[in-house]
Structure 1
Amino acid sequence: MPLALDKLRAVLVTGKGGVGKTTVAAALARASARRGRRTLCLEVIDEVGEAAPLATTFGRALTTEEPLQVAPNLYVAALSPATGHKAFLRETLPVKMLADAAMKSQAVRRFLHAAPTFPELGVLYRLVDLASATRAGPFDQVIVDLPATGHALALVEVPEAVLRIVPGGTIGQALRAGLALLCDAEKTAALVVTLPEPLPVSEALELAEALEAKRVAVAGIILNRVPDDPFDDAEFELVQSFATRPLLGNRSVHRLRKTRDARERIKISRRVIELSEHPEGDVLAKVTDELAAGKP
């Protein structure tokens, strides 16, 4: 796999909505599974049973709480706050039936879902459980499709804040285990997905910087939906000279200019992998092949 991802236990796929995160996460998971690695692809959702874009990508209507095999070496599951809360309560309460009873209470579920920090803590606890090398049937790698730009930061910021209030006990231990996974560059890294446009690239670079400030390693930035560019630099300069006139192809030329600028901005400080546009055919299969090729 490219970007030195093959030895990581967890890969966090993040970026703004609409940039193709889910397709990239699915492609990474497929590429990992093809190499014979037992791979789990996770989708962060509010409630198990709701619409699940990642599950649809793998031909399933919904994701489930427990990992479901969808291909050789490849499993998918939902990463929901409620699942993490239930797992935590089962570990901490003396009788597991109490945990199950608590999570069946609508009042308790509403509180855990609505109270600040609790949803992120539930997601983090479940992620640590699924990524653990000591769990029954451990996975070699876990790919996480995060829902929005701020969620990757929240997974680190929330436990840090809660630890200031609850530094010890079972909660403190669980939070430290979560941070130990997220902030260990040998185990976990983020991939930021973006589009070849000025604003998305700026946001991706800012996110990468913010993640690293929180001690989360960033393996690189994926520049998605890159248009085909058949020109070398000299040819492109010539083509641009014609673009000052009202010609039919001007829009394509301007788009290529923005793509070239985006590529150069990212390369100054980040490793970048480009995924081309594929308007026809099996998009997921083609993206998977490009990722598997490990193109720099």
Structure 2
Amino acid sequence: MRSIESRGTGLGIEPGDFAYLAEATWGSFSADSLLRRFEYDPLYRLTRATGRERKGVEPIFWGNQVPGGTSVEEARPYIEHYNYDKTGGMVEKRHEYALDAANGVAQWKRTYQTDTSSNRLVAMGLGGESRGYVYDGGGNLVQENSERHYEWDHAGKLRAFRVQAAGSPASSYGAYGYDGAGQRVQKVSIRGGVAHATVYVDGIFEHHQILDGTSAPAQANELHVMDDASKVASRRVGPDIFNAQKPAVRYELGDHLGSSSVVVSETGGLISREEYRPYGESSFGSYAKKRFR
């Protein structure tokens, strides 16, 4: 298979109002259109993808995206190209996006460098910036650039994580506990002097506590409602201790890959939505900060 197209309907995308995002037809894209096209080489490696993204999405390395929006008037088309080395590792991702009729197309490029002896990523570059990666003997990532550090247990499970610049105290810290089967049962994160502890039970129940050292812990529970394969809804029991201002009952609607793309209330009201680029980065929608980020 050389290419596959994914057409969207609903959620502000009118049936039949699609535009093909080829290099020669940037101007044919309308704000309320969505046609995603994926192209592959003979080894079934993704070489090109089209889609839409929110205006203002910046080429960042991690987690600093500005809050998004669901207005289709704030959308723009993009094209991404992917190049690989002989072993199948990505060496370059080139991202092009439409500005407007007067300014044409802009682009940025992200490069990846791998260790030839292990095929592990050792550096990622974007513009004039670079991020380096260090691993232990078992292949576990132990340092990302100079400030993000990871610790692993004997079974290769993440035991602790911290953000700590050289000569400074850690600005963020996380510790993780597992049961005998290797399933995570506890997480404690500390940031800004406030600790958040979570206990996980069988993948369907979470108990949360927030401790700031000045008052009694704030507590709440969350129950995950599952179908045969994945979570379809969640229900919070107790106060909104994260101040997320979200309904207690939320339904999660997944896409064809199983990624959560739309969250609605029990009355069907839209809470949030997200669209993703092929390698998981958010491209469009109300991708505000979430607990898993």
TM-score interval w.r.t. the shorter chain? under 0.3
Q: Which structure ranks higher in relative contact order (CA pairs < 8 Å, sequence separation ≥ 6)?
A: 1
Instruction: Select the structure that is richer in helix.
Output: 1
Instruction: Select the structure that is richer in strand.
Output: 2
Normalising by structure 2, what TM-score?
0.26
Normalising by structure 1, what TM-score?
0.26
